[in-house]
Amino acid sequence: MVAKVFMKYLTPIVVFSLFVFKVLAFHPVIGESTTVLGQGGEKVFVIHAPIRNLVEFRELAKQAARLKPYGRVEVNVSTLADKGFHEIPAGRNFWYEYASYNPTPFKFFPDKKIAPFIPAAFVKKNREMILAKAKILREYGLGAAFWSYEPNFLPGKFFEAYPHLMGARVDHPRRGNYPAFAPCVSMEGTQEMFKNMVAELLSNVPEIHTFFFKTNDSGSGICWSDWQYTGPNGPTHCKNRSMGERVATLMNSFKEGASMAGQDISIYLTGSMFSDEEKKDIYSHLPDNCYFQSHNSDKVQGINSMIVSNYPVRGLFFPLEILRGINSIGSGTANTVFIGFRASYDRGYERLDAIGKFLNLLVETLGNPPAAGQIAELEQLHKLCLEWAGKSSADKLFNAFVQLDEASQYKKAALHRVSGINWGIAARHITRPLVVAPDRLSENEEAYFMPYIFNPSEKEARMDYTDIHGAHRTIPSGVAGNYVAAVNRAIRLMEGINDDAPEKEFIQNMVKALKIHASIFRSIGNFAEAQEIRGRNAEKLSMAPHRPDKTPTWEGSPDLQKFNAIMRDELDNTLELIDVLEDGGMDFICHANTPEYEDTFLLGPDLIGQLKLKRKIMLKHWTDIEGYMTTPFK
């Protein structure tokens, strides 16, 4: 029976999906990284989830401890206790929103030079949290890891006091209106600061064995790097040093700081922006026990839960995609495995029940490595469906998960540059009203969403629905709708699972998460198509509203009809999302708990109220389009 099920679902689209999968390859991320380098020795599992609630962190540690029979287990402890509000300049400086949760040693144990320029209360909260987490890890016999952005930008007043330490400008000029500078790693003063801070960090948290960091993005940068956002820049005195020398200097500073604390740490440079020439030079200069992405990747691997690629939705579980990553660990030679349950910029983390299911699969695979190949993966999937749905509904759940895999592969191929975080959240497609003339909204009507749209220009934020982080983007017509339709087919199958299914509650919860996910991409598609229509009619929309052509016509303006259909679909989509959120769905979407924490990358606590306001404003402006295009009449 199982074989028949497998053959039934090895349809041409599955074969195509598997082909696309092989072409694209599976590159899980660490933070925003792709693949990192490995180290020799015992197998090490490094788990990363930016959890601030210590009760939940304890549960994570408890679940992580199940991996101990298979190697050393470390949990990242560098998550900040609070957002760095003090770092964000006034005005539309959204680049600083990237970095406002950036962990770095100086936010826990600042050097004496840096300490006067950072709020003491902020440091105190971060320090208390990292020490509390270390205590919990000790109880479960786990190690710790520290994720960081280095060298992270420092306050302007620091460089007023220590101007000789100022290194590269690292902000993005299209994503903010205020410059930011990181310290120059070539300066002995900078090196001393890093040594002192790492030494104090490890003296207080000796459980830390892995230090992994990112540079040249989202708040950090190295002098004269080819791919700095403002172009290669930095002080004249270090211009002629090679990038390999700079990175080696930084890594050696970390190593010497560890040595001062009587510790030895493994250091990984992950997910950073360097040219190919720089990468080669960095690799040729790596100190001992230091590693860099894209080299020796057979020794290190990364796997992730679905929140990494599907933020802001929590609780998604695409078993085939997860199994591929997990199985490659069991069959591969990787000594270090980074396991990501973190959403970008530390704005959220995976639900604990989904983490538990993920680790169940990993533990089972490590204990009983499966046979290689697609058929073996499908057999694993069917076994999982029997466990979750019972014999009566296993095939239905199996079909749903295969459908999800097809949808996921389609999304990677056709929507590979489209993400929930950058389109749905940072452009506020979820909550902003879709109207033909956004400039006709009042200041009060814009107040709940405009401050959060990622664009240093308020005019561009208002008028271009698909200005994504400073670039105008497009989506082929119908592609987002195709993806949403495929997800909805899986949802309908999962809704038909019998009530006696052993994991009925988890499946029902996943249905809610999938409905939210589908709604976000439905909005993304609607806003993209609406912007295409607005672009085609830019001249008409630039004029003052006026009476359209009086010539009788049954058709009217074709774009008026299309735009009205998009508006109606988005109005209905918003109502359906409200229904899901009111039925417990708020637990499956990352959002702030209090209004002050809503920002570019995090939705507000009154999300349902904002969606209702979105519908109200859309209906108020429903007929605005009739002042620019001809309605059908006779």
Query: Which among 301, 314, 381 has a CA at the least distance from the CA of 341?
Result: 314
| Per-residue model confidence (pLDDT) at position 632 | 84
**What are the structure tokens assigned to 393, written together?**
């509904």
**495 belongs to a structural domain:** no
The arrangement of strands across the sheet holding 300-304 comes to: 290-292, 266-269, 208-214, 143-149, 72-76, 44-48, 336-340, 300-304
| Per-residue model confidence (pLDDT) at position 12 | 35
| Per-residue model confidence (pLDDT) at position 331 | 63
Boundaries of domain holding 577: 416-476+513-627
What's the full length of the chain, in residues?
634
| Per-residue model confidence (pLDDT) at position 631 | 85
- Tally the domains of the chain: 2
| Per-residue model confidence (pLDDT) at position 30 | 33
User: For residues 336 and 66, what is the distance between their CA atoms, to the nearest angstrom?
Assistant: 17
pLDDT per residue as tens digits for the range 507-539: 999 999 999 999 999 999 999 999 999 999 999
Q: Please say whether the beta carbons of 425 and 523 come within 8 A.
A: no
**What are the structure tokens assigned to 532, written together?**
């295409």
User: For residues 78 and 566, what is the distance between their CA atoms, to the nearest angstrom?
Assistant: 44
Q: In this structure, are 422 and 276 located in the same domain? A: no
| Per-residue model confidence (pLDDT) at position 634 | 61
Where does the pLDDT of residue 416 fall: very low under 50, low under 70, confident under 90, or very high at 90 and above?
A: confident
**48 belongs to a structural domain:** no
Q: In this structure, are 289 and 426 located in the same domain? A: no
Residue 138 has pLDDT above 80, yes or no: yes
**What are the structure tokens assigned to 498, written together?**
């019998």
| Per-residue model confidence (pLDDT) at position 321 | 94
**What are the structure tokens assigned to 41, written together?**
């020795």
Residue 113 has pLDDT above 60, yes or no: yes
Give the residue from 265, 280, 295 where a domain finishes.
Answer: 295
Give the residue from 264, 295, 326 where a domain finishes.
Answer: 295
Distances (CA, A) of 427 to 430, 469, 472: 8, 8, 12
Q: What percent of the chain has pLDDT over 90?
A: 81
pLDDT per residue as tens digits for the range 472-514: 999 999 999 999 999 999 999 999 999 999 999 999 999 999 9
Give just the sign of the alpha carbon dihedral 490, 493, 498, 499.
positive
pLDDT per residue as tens digits for the range 307-333: 999 999 999 999 999 999 898 886 666
| Per-residue model confidence (pLDDT) at position 301 | 84
**569 belongs to a structural domain:** yes
Residue 610 has pLDDT above 70, yes or no: yes
| Per-residue model confidence (pLDDT) at position 574 | 98
**605 belongs to a structural domain:** yes
| Per-residue model confidence (pLDDT) at position 556 | 80
| Per-residue model confidence (pLDDT) at position 37 | 37
Average pLDDT along the chain: 91
**266 belongs to a structural domain:** yes
ω into 369 cis (within 30 of 0): no
Give the residue from 268, 295, 322 where a domain finishes.
Answer: 295
DSSP 607: H
Where does the pLDDT of residue 28 fall: very low under 50, low under 70, confident under 90, or very high at 90 and above?
A: very low
Q: In this structure, are 289 and 430 located in the same domain? A: no
Q: In this structure, are 461 and 600 located in the same domain? A: yes
Q: In this structure, are 461 and 607 located in the same domain? A: yes
pLDDT per residue as tens digits for the range 291-314: 887 555 567 788 999 999 999 999
Where does the pLDDT of residue 547 fall: very low under 50, low under 70, confident under 90, or very high at 90 and above?
A: confident
**What are the structure tokens assigned to 244, written together?**
């390999």
Residue 146 has pLDDT above 70, yes or no: yes
**277 belongs to a structural domain:** yes
**What are the structure tokens assigned to 166, written together?**
């100022």
CA atoms within 13 A on the CB side of 230: 22
Query: Among 344-348, 503-507, 587-591, which is the least confidently predicted range?
Result: 344-348
User: For residues 306 and 314, what is the distance between their CA atoms, to the nearest angstrom?
Assistant: 8
Q: In this structure, are 236 and 90 located in the same domain? A: yes
Contacts of 28 (CB under 8 A, 6+ apart): 34, 35, 301, 302, 303, 304, 308, 325, 338, 340
Residue in the block written with tokens 């990364």: 302
**487 belongs to a structural domain:** no
Report, as an integer, the average pLDDT of 97-113.
96
Query: Which among 456, 426, 420 has a CA at the least distance from the CA of 91?
Result: 456
pLDDT per residue as tens digits for the range 252-305: 999 999 999 999 999 999 888 999 999 999 999 999 999 887 555 567 788 999
| Per-residue model confidence (pLDDT) at position 302 | 87
Q: Please say whether the beta carbons of 253 and 150 come within 8 A.
A: no
Query: Among 15-19, 270-274, 463-467, 499-503, which is the least confidently predicted range?
Result: 15-19
**564 belongs to a structural domain:** yes
Q: Please say whether the beta carbons of 601 and 426 come within 8 A.
A: yes
**Phi and psi for 351 in degrees, rounded to 5?**
-65, 145
